[in-house]
Amino acid sequence: MELDLDHLEKLIPRYDVAGPRYTSYPTAPVWKEDFGDEAYGRALEQVAPGADLSLYVHVPFCESLCHYCACNKVITRKAELPVRYLEVIAREIEATRQRLRGDPRAVELHWGGGTPTHLTPEQIRTLFDAITSAIPLHDDAEVSIEVDPRVTTVDHMDVLAECGFNRISLGVQDFDARVQESVHRVQPVDQVEKLVVNSRERGFRSINFDLIYGLPYQTEDSFSRTLDTVLDLAPDRIALYSYAHVTWVAKQQRSFERSDLPEPARKLRIMLMAIRRFLEAGYVYIGMDHFARPEDDLSRALADGRLYRNFMGYTIRAGGELVGFGPSAISELEDSYAQSQRGLGEWEQAVEERGLATLRGHRLSADDLARRWVIQSIMCQGVVEASVYEARFGEPFAKRYAKEIQRLAPMAEDGLIVVEADGSLRVTSDGRLLVRNAAMAFDAYLEQQTRGDKPLFSKTV
């Protein structure tokens, strides 16, 4: 897919507004605490017997704090915390399993954090066994894990390979020494390189690098050198995230001087340079901030229209229900979302008392379900086919969303979307970079959410 990056450089500043990333619809700020354990428990009981599931496990621990980070984590070196966590999560898995009917299987299992490899190799084995003995894996399941190269040892890699992990995601962010020091994450190239070699030797199917643009002291030159190294190491997938300055969520970001952060025009140039380099190197643009080698499953899924988006980002397991474990984990079932208590202590106490630890959730109305389908179609396929919408929801797409389509007129004028004669909505190649902006037009909650003083979302670029 071709992107006209010169055209986009002129347009993007106009579209750089705060907006959701649409890993769910409705987005998490809409969910309410009146959706608790009982509602989540009932939703689990309604999952089809023996369903194919996606599973997510949140391991919240990290050894030290990266100053850009807005994840839900617990910074600790205390050995007793993971020990207790493992006992509690085993209970949560058991309580969840009791509510699922038949013999469900996992087609996808992802461990995120935090830092999953903060656990010792033995603890990883214990947790893996606890999950897979409750919900066994399909033979061809995607089993993935996020690792921090600074704490991941050869022993970790051995256990991960023995367990059957086949995808690995490395937090890289930036290789520049000054940037690394300023964000409190010093991680030399050879540490990452060893882990890449190690992963390839153990037959991992796919290696992902997470990169961040917009960090303190980044320049086009410094990030270009980072990209040279990244492209030499040739990961199968790359996620290029925008640094989100969200000091109301991540207070430690206040340690950054505004003047140390690249100003918006430079940040944009860094992003466009990175995209240009990835495309020139033969990566396929998957959507939003994701790139993959043409032979990677994600690129194939994009080509076949099988791409799906959930809390783990872009995935190929369309429609599978997602069940989460651990503090702050999110579950996405047929018509509801649920999130567990975010604090480690609160989550432990809730699981010990009740088995589940639901903090909040949302049951989707008929309107939510239709809008979710539209937003998914825009985010993943880049098209809403009017006839498919009508067959599915029994009303003409163009008539039902006349106001929303009207709102997209500036994007149409800028060549980012096209409204076709039959009412279908198609995102153009350039528009795929600003796909969040198109999805935002269909979000029925956004106007009300952006009315408050406190920002809820980071900017789209």
Rounded to an integer, what distance in angstroms lies between the CA atom of residue 113 and that of residue 388? 37
Going by the DSSP 8-state scheme, the letter that residue 251 receives in this structure is: G
Q: How far is the CB of 183 from ligand SF4 (least distance, A)?
A: 9
Nearer to ligand SF4, 58 or 360 (CB): 58
Task: Give Cα separations from 34 to 39, 204, 214, 331, 363 (angstroms).
Answer: 9, 42, 38, 16, 11
Residues across the chain: 461
Nearer to ligand SF4, 152 or 310 (CB): 152
Task: Give Cα separations from 302 to 157, 167, 390, 406 (angstroms).
Answer: 30, 18, 23, 28
Nearer to ligand SF4, 183 or 408 (CB): 183
Q: How far is the CB of 72 from ligand SF4 (least distance, A)?
A: 8
Asked whether the beta carbons of 213 and 179 are under 8 A apart, the reply is no
Rounded to an integer, what distance in angstroms lies between the CA atom of residue 411 and that of residue 437? 9
Asked whether the beta carbons of 64 and 121 are under 8 A apart, the reply is no
What DSSP string describes 253-292? GGGS-GGGSPPHHHHHHHHHHHHHHHHHTT-EEEETTEEE
Q: How far is the CB of 73 from ligand SF4 (least distance, A)?
A: 4
Q: How far is the CB of 151 from ligand SF4 (least distance, A)?
A: 8
Nearer to ligand SF4, 342 or 426 (CB): 342
Distance of CA 133 to the CA centre of its chain: 26
Rounded to an integer, what distance in angstroms lies between the CA atom of residue 333 and that of residue 329? 13
Nearer to ligand SF4, 35 or 217 (CB): 217
Q: How far is the CB of 117 from ligand SF4 (least distance, A)?
A: 10
Under the rule (CB under 6 A), what is the footprint of ligand SF4? 62, 65-66, 69, 71, 73, 113-115, 148, 171
Phi, psi at residue 18, to the nearest 5°?
A: -70, 135
Q: How far is the CB of 111 from ligand SF4 (least distance, A)?
A: 12
Asked whether the beta carbons of 168 and 147 are under 8 A apart, the reply is yes
Nearer to ligand SF4, 21 or 372 (CB): 21
Q: How far is the CB of 440 from ligand SF4 (least distance, A)?
A: 27
Nearer to ligand SF4, 61 or 442 (CB): 61
